[in-house]
Amino acid sequence: MKITDLLKRESVELSGTPESKGQAIDQMVELMAKGGNISDLQRYKEGVLKREEEGTTGIGEGIAIPHAKTDAVSVPGLAAMLVPQGVDYDALDGQPVHMIFLIAAPNTEDNVHLEVLSRLSMLLMDDEFRTNLLDAADVTEFLAYIDEVERKKFPEEYGEEKQEQNQPEEGYRVLAVTACPTGIAHTYMAAESLENKAKEMGISIKVETNGSGGAKNVLTPEEIEQCECIIIAADKEVDMPRFDGKPVITTKVANGIHKAEELLTEATSGKVAVYHNASKESGSGFGGEEENLGRKIYKALMNGVSHMLPFVIGGGILIAMAFLFDGAHAGTAEFGMGNPFSRFLKQVGDISFGMMFPILAGYIAMAIADRPALMPGIVGGLLAKSGMTMAVEETGWVSSGFFGALIAGFAAGLIMLGLKKILEKLPKALEGTKPMLLYPFLGIAAMGALMVFVVNPPVGAFNEWLNQVLASMGESSRVLLGAVLGGMMAIDFGGPFNKAAYVFGTASIASGQFGIMAAVMAGGMVPPIGIALATLFFKNRFTKSEQQTVATNFIMGLSFITEGAIPFAASDPLRIIPPCIAGSAVAGALSMLFGCGSRAPHGGIFVIGIIDNPLLFLAAVAAGSVVAMLGIVLLKKPLAAK
């Protein structure tokens, strides 16, 4: 669908003067309504704002492309506005936005907004195209220039033959793959930037885009075989085994947009490291940057944690609901299983929650040694959960729990790397037996021996000792532990410290230490709420765009989504992070002091009905939030009036 088919004259404004992002969206929605594309203006605007809450559509380079797909749209449409003086749109590069395109798509159309969005992103990467649009004398010239560029770029849509890119007989010199987490704008912007720069430099290139609609312009085995180097400009996983044995540069998608020339220069230098999939050698990092051991360990751990959390959260909330619906048996041995409905919730929740250790171990192992390591990792996690040892008569089976699963995950990955190395010299005729016979048999045998004889006995004993220590802690020690865990939740807002405290809290639920999870949840709720209070009551210390986040931060804080504080912490870390740590520590300490407990590993205000001492828990969160607010407003000075 052509841009000029969607963009009507009455929906174009060449001299917009919005003073804020909110005003810009209001004016853009009005322009869209003038084109007759919207059946319900208010509902369409709500769709646009909801998309902005997921992440800004200010994609950088002075461009914003807001969009919404909703049944409030009767006909697909576009609106455009130029803002000569610029407007603060919370763009990803922090720069003012001078050009805004708004997309409207009805629910009946299959991803028309994504098709238009990707096309706009590609065209707007051309500096000359942007400049000519900004310099357009009137709407007629503005539309005519878009039509001219579209005709050149997509001649087949005008009934003209498309001139195929000349591919040298020996193949493309450079291949590339671009991908961003959402698979929309930056995927195509990076591809366009690399193609344009390669053309300037006289380098033949083909770029595969891993967008939201799937991979396009897919690289063929012949092209991969013939090329000099492959550039992976991606912020998510892409299909890497096909590049085994070829020089590969890995980098983030933003470098594909902003550092295309440097990437292409490095790709054609002949000095790029070769990628080997089997040994997990990742080729070259852009500019010679290589992942250190600590970064690799962290990525493997986070791979396990990210796959584990849905089981923990879903199962944990079901278990908590079982207790909520079985109040009649509170304090008895049947609590949570006293009626058919609560028994159903408890049993399903237990199964889901019990998957946390095998899933954690399995996906840590998979991050280290790919798919063959998943199986021994899961088996190791199950053995950690069961606590099986060969000294049953003397010690009994004691689960090695979270720590055992961690060890199992990394051990399984290393075991599989070792097996691959040992078995790589087998005859090719036996290659097919590796994934179906040798890897499973040898991997499980080695994993079982390691867990039963080496890991479970000492780690299980440590786990039992730790549970006894936590259970016997005095009040002052529990308060201190709550303060430490609560403060950790606010150090990096979702980073390693935050995740360490959270995972410790979820693992403690399995041990019956519900107070730890309550302290962790209270600490994690404080930063967004504290920032929301500061922006609500002390507006003179924040920009207009920051003031507009009050409702969002309240919702995220009450929902136990600590990441809501990240934009503020990133822009002013020294004045935001320390007060948030202090407030979260206060909330965690008070939660422990008040004897609060949570059987649910997530949910915030939405699971308040199943938190022990719920009113005191809310008081702890409120006190911590006020401490964070006061610290922020003391450190941040009022902004100069414009």
Residue 380: name the closest of 411, 416, 418, 408 by CA.
408
* 8 Å CB contact between 530 and 580: yes
Q: Say whether domain 174-275 belongs to CATH 3.40.50.2300.
A: yes
589 — pLDDT class (breaks 50, 70, 90): very high
Residue 460: name the closest of 552, 381, 389 by CA.
389
Residues 443-457, mean pLDDT to the nearest whole number: 89
Between CA 236 and CA 181 the distance in angstroms is 6
Catalytic positions = 67, 180
Residue 338: helix, strand or coil by DSSP? coil
Q: What is the pTM of this model?
A: 0.52
Residues 57-85, mean pLDDT to the nearest whole number: 87
Q: DSSP letter string over 24-44? A: HHHHHHHHHHHTT-BS-HHHH
Residues 6+ apart with CB under 8 A from 401: 357, 384, 385, 459, 460, 463, 507, 510, 511
* 406 burial level (CB within 10 Å; 0-12, 13-18, 19+): buried
* 8 Å CB contact between 209 and 217: yes
What pLDDT shows up at residue 393?
A: 47
Q: Do domains 3-158 and 174-275 have the same CATH topology?
A: no
**Which residue would you say has higher pLDDT here, 170 or 276?**
276
pLDDT at residue 398 above 70? no
pLDDT at residue 396 above 60? no
* 8 Å CB contact between 104 and 36: no
Of 172-176, 433-437, 452-456, the range with the highest mean pLDDT is: 172-176
What pLDDT shows up at residue 14?
A: 93
pLDDT at residue 401 above 80? no
Encoding tokens for residue 254? 């933003």
Element (H, E) at 276: strand 275-276
CATH of domain 3-158: 3.40.930.10
Residues 438-461, mean pLDDT to the nearest whole number: 88
Residue given tokens 């992942």 in the structure block? 291
Between CA 469 and CA 473 the distance in angstroms is 6
Amino acid identity, position 241: P
What pLDDT shows up at residue 162?
A: 46
Encoding tokens for residue 324? 């909520």
Residues 313-328, mean pLDDT to the nearest whole number: 78
Q: What is the mean pLDDT of the chain?
A: 82
* Least confident segment among 66-80, 195-209, 564-578: 564-578
**pLDDT single digits (tens) 567-582:** 787 678 888 999 999 9
The CB density around residue 152, as the number of other CB atoms within 10 Å, is: 11
Of 37-41, 377-381, 601-605, the range with the highest mean pLDDT is: 377-381
Amino acid identity, position 259: K
What pLDDT shows up at residue 280?
A: 47
Where exactly are the structural domains of the chain? 3-158, 174-275, 293-465, 475-635
The CB density around residue 47, as the number of other CB atoms within 10 Å, is: 22
Between CA 440 and CA 324 the distance in angstroms is 43
pLDDT at residue 471 above 70? no
Residues 6+ apart with CB under 8 A from 336: 319, 322, 323, 326, 329, 342, 343, 346
Question: Any long-range contacts for 106-111 (C-beta under 8 Å, 24+ apart)?
Answer: 106/69, 106/70, 106/71, 106/73, 106/74, 106/75, 106/76, 107/69, 107/70, 107/71, 107/73, 109/69, 109/76, 111/212, 111/213
**Which residue would you say has higher pLDDT here, 115 or 438?**
438
Residue 181: helix, strand or coil by DSSP? coil
392 — pLDDT class (breaks 50, 70, 90): very low
* 8 Å CB contact between 317 and 311: no
**pLDDT single digits (tens) 511-567:** 778 889 999 999 999 999 999 999 999 988 888 777 888 888 898 888 888 877 877
Residue 532: name the closest of 583, 461, 608 by CA.
583
Phi and psi, residue 92, nearest 5° = -60, -30
Between CA 504 and CA 502 the distance in angstroms is 5
pLDDT at residue 160 above 70? no
Encoding tokens for residue 518? 């309550």
292 — pLDDT class (breaks 50, 70, 90): low
